[in-house]
Amino acid sequence: MKNIEIQIAETFNSIDDIQKAEAPYFFNTRVQAKLNQRLAVTESSWLPKWKPIWAITTLTILLSINIYSFIQKKKIKTTKSTNTTESANLEGFSNTYNLNSSLAY
Amino acid sequence: MNEIQLIQSLQQGDKNAFSFLVDTYQHMVFNTILSIVQQQEEAEDVAQEVFVQAFISITKFRGDSKISTWLYRIAITKTLDHQRKKRSKKRFGLLKNVFAIGLQEEQVADFYHPGVQLENKEKSAILFKALQNLPSQQRIAFTLIKIEGLNYEDTSSIMQISIKAIESLMHRAKLNLRNQLINYYQSNK
């Protein structure tokens, strides 16, 4: 145990006179390059970023337009068919009672 | 160029002032990051990110602390972010390996800090390995005080906690390291 205690103390002491590590050569140049690259990307990205909220909003709008046009189309069809039935009924009625007769009394 | 002039020039987007900032603080930032990340290339990458971030967010710097303190804060935040991402990547890699045939566990190489004297290299590598297992707050306090050589007051200013809290972090860090070292030396008798 005493031996271990000595080893632990030596391990802790091993960093007592530690010198600072130096940044690699041309570090400054690399940082400048990275910064320029980052700034160029920021300047070129003038379009708003494609976030999920935009995707959901666009999808909702497209779906609403589709549903609206589908309902409208159905409405027009129904009106058309009602009109056709009505005119057929009137024709039948006039034929039954011979109202189309061109005889003059 | 004094600190106030430097801050003003940086806030005006002066690239020469930025170059001066990098030249002045590069070793400080790099040494801190390297001691935590323990990998040369990764440390350089994170250190570059620190300076880019500093340039971008200099307008938010109110000047109520020293530039070095502010840079230390950015460096610590970036390093912890990097460590977090790396850990989650590792976890995902492990998950992938569970389903892989011929699983090979990645061996972490010993880290030899370039500033350690030759006769202490082996012992310090053991200490740096144990340091990796400490909770992040303890690791940062220990690194700033023991490796960066900062005092408790500066460390408390950087970590934005009281000196008492720093003392407590250091006490727990030493205790944790000691326990790890006991286990290590007992198993390597």
The tens digit of pLDDT for each residue in A49-65 reads 667 888 899 999 999 99
pLDDT given for residue A54 in this prediction: 85
Where do the CATH 1.10.1740.10 domains begin and end in chain B?
1-107
**Euclidean distance between CA atoms B73 and B50, whole angstroms:** 9
Closest by Cβ to B26, choosing from A19, A28, A35 = A28
Q: Taking CB atoms and an 8 Å limit, are A15 and B120 in contact across chains?
A: yes
- How far is B22 from chain A, CA to nearest CA, in Å? 6
DSSP one-letter code for B58 = G
A·B CB contacts under 8 A = 99
What is the ipTM for the molecules in this complex?
0.83
Residues 6+ apart with CB under 8 A from B12: none
Domain annotation covers residue A2: no
Residue B105: pLDDT over 70: no
User: Phi/psi at B72 (nearest 5 deg)?
Assistant: -60, -45
Its domain, for residue A60, covers 51-79
What is the C-alpha radius of gyration for chain A, rounded to an integer number of angstroms? 43
pLDDT given for residue A97 in this prediction: 79
Contacts of B22 in chain A (CB under 8 A): 27-28, 31-32
Digit-coded pLDDT (tens) for A69-97? 999 988 887 777 777 777 777 787 778 87
Domain annotation covers residue A74: yes
Number of residues written out for chain B: 189
How would residue A39 be classed by pLDDT, with cut points 50, 70 and 90? confident
Domain annotation covers residue A43: no
Domain annotation covers residue A75: yes
Contacts of B115 in chain A (CB under 8 A): 18-21
CATH class of B111-189: mainly alpha
Kindly identify which residue of chain A lies nearest to residue B181, measuring between CA atoms. A8
The total number of structural domains in chain A stands at 1
Digit-coded pLDDT (tens) for B15-71? 899 999 999 999 999 999 999 999 999 999 999 999 999 999 998 888 888 999 999
Which run of H or E residues covers position B48? Answer: helix B40-56
CATH topology of domain B1-107: Rna Polymerase Sigma Factor; Chain: A (1.10.1740)
